Amino acid sequence: MTAIKFGTDGWRGIIADDFTYANARIVAHAIARYVVRAEDARKGVIIGYDHRFAADTIAATVAETISATGTPVWLTDKPCPTPAISLLVRQRKAAGGLVITASHNPARWSGIKYKASYGSSALPSIVAQIETELAGVIENGLPPLPPQKNLIQKLDPRAPYIETIEKLVDWDRLRKAKFRYISDAMHGSAAGILPEIFKRNGIACDEIRGTRDPLFGGAHPEPIEPHIDPLRKAVLAGKCDVGFAADGDGDRIGAIDRDGSFINPHQIFALLVWHLVGTRQLEGEIAKTFSVTKLIDKLAAKYARKLHEVPIGFKYICELMLEQNILIGGEESGGIGTSMYLPERDATVSALLLAELMAWHNKTLGELLAALHKEFGEYHYGRVDLDLKPGQKEKAIAYFSGSKLKQILNLEVTNRENMDGIKLYLGNIGWVMVRASGTENLLRVYSETSKPDTTKKVLAAVTDIVHRL
């Protein structure tokens, strides 16, 4: 049996290879054991699923496995976004939640995400306990416990989710703005939700890729280029003012401006900070991960808000949001959370807030971004993932950590930081960062400078250095 590794947001595997019914039962039983030992299992567990192959039947199998431990289960009656399960866990004060999903991974993947009782990703301390239970189940096998089907109830996940998040924005402003919207569900489980919320409030919103397709139309369900190109074409063809995209399980956002420009996650995060802190003047501090744009630093300084920088992974932002007054936190991959709602990423909430920002100023995202650049300077971000030979990524990290590298493209290396990977500052032009994947032979190279061409050249130069090591 392929080893099962339980990460921060759960376990993922290749369908029919290591992601099997048998392994799903093992993971589910380990989570159930954690819930029985560390939570109040009488409060029950909520189980949802996405649009992937056999996600519904895996969810039913997981529900039966958990019910066998005497734990009540609510099983959703339809696919739903992951944040809908997080919200239901919080609203129902459940002991936890599980979602059958592999998020933005390609179609051949599936997985099981675990959401803790506070309505977000499990903290490292919880993950450690689940891993201990998992090791015990793998060693000793599943106990011969029959399912207690009387403990399994059906649950509609969409209605309470929609009713909650539609209250976060000013619909009078949105109606008066008369912008044209289009949503791209990327064949994922957020399908239909954004158009329904707009329709409930008297605004039209078209949708593309809103049908269930376990193959995701042959693309990765990740709202970044090039996977988001169908949305660009739809925005331009329909003369829409903005297009919003959600990943496979609805927690990461991407956007396309009226002119077809891709609005990347850093820009989205900066625009939302500007809106919530600057325009709506909501109280609270700001959190970002180590690879996020320095524009956030400028915004935090202008509005005199404390900025927290944490290692890469939304779990670190979640932990801060649980402990401190964090208004908004974001990561490089498009996951953004706000204390107005949950310590959790949610693409639909981010889309609603972006629409409100546009309505507030009666400007497109591109026009608003231009205003930010005019005030704070331009920030252009890029990233490449290098598939390397075994041992090569370790050589690269060691090389960039050392003092031999004095400059890149005639740009002086003025400082280094090593919170998570190695970040090199290139004078007052920008920065470049290298970070090794913990599970694959990948080296991720990130860069941000004041000019798009410079960013591309820095990424190319670092790529060349790595390949020559």
Of 404, 372, 399, nearest to 388 by C-alpha is 399
pLDDT tops 90 at residue 404 = no
- Residue 124's pLDDT is 87
The top-scoring range by mean pLDDT among 6-20, 121-135, 169-183 is 169-183
- Rounded to the nearest 5 degrees, what angle is found at the Cα of 158, between the Cα atoms of 156 and 159? 85
Asked if residue 455 lies in contact with residue 401, where contact means CB atoms within 8 angstroms, the answer is no
Torsion of Cα atoms, 201 then 207 then 209 then 214, to 10°? 10
What are 27-70's pLDDT values in tens digits? 999 999 999 999 999 999 999 999 999 999 999 999 999 999 99
Q: How far apart are CA 101 and CA 419, in angstroms?
A: 30
For the chain, how far is it from start to end, CA to CA, in angstroms? 36
Report the distance separating Cα 132 and Cα 36, nearest Å.
Answer: 14
Q: How confident is the model at residue 313 (pLDDT cuts 50, 70, 90)?
A: confident
Are 347 and 251 in contact by the 8 Å Cβ rule? The answer is yes
> In terms of DSSP H, where are the helices of 314-391?
314-323, 347-361, 365-376
Place of tokens 């051949």: 108
In this prediction, residue 465 carries a pLDDT of: 93
Give, in order, the Cα–Cα distances in Å from 198 to each of 183, 191, 206, 273, 356: 11, 13, 10, 23, 12
* Nearest CA-CA partner of 268 in 289, 233, 247, 244: 244
Find, among 230, 238, 166, the residue nearest to 203 by Cα: 166
Q: What is the DSSP string of 256-307?
A: EETTS-EE-HHHHHHHHHIIIIIIS----EEEEETTS-THHHHHHHHTT--E
Predicted pLDDT of residue 36? 97
Give residue 4's pLDDT.
Answer: 87
| 359-396 confidence digits (pLDDT tens) | 999 999 999 999 999 999 999 999 999 998 888 888 99
Q: Which residues of 123-138 are buried (b: 16+ CB within 10 A; e: fewer)?
A: beebbebbbebbeebb
Q: Give φ, ψ of 212 to 5 degrees.
A: -70, 125
- For residue 364, the tally of other CB atoms under 10 A from its CB is 18
Using CA atoms, how far residue 21 sits from 27, 50, 111, 147, 248, in Å, is 10, 16, 11, 15, 21
Residue 304 identity: A
Cβ(135)–Cβ(147) under 8 Å? no
Task: Say if residue 164's pLDDT is above 60.
Answer: yes
Interval 74-102 mean pLDDT? 98
Q: How far apart are CA 218 and CA 221, in angstroms?
A: 9
| Model pLDDT, residue 197 | 98
The percentage of the chain sitting over the pLDDT mark of 70, rounded to a whole number, equals: 99
3-state class (DSSP) for residue 346: coil
Question: Mean of the pLDDT values across residues 133-153?
Answer: 95
Residues ≥6 apart with Cβ < 8 Å to 391: none
Quote the CA–CA distance of 409 and 431 in Å, as a whole number: 12
Task: Give buried/exposed letters for 343-360 (b at 16+ CB in 10 A, else e).
Answer: bbbbbbbbbbbbbbbbbb
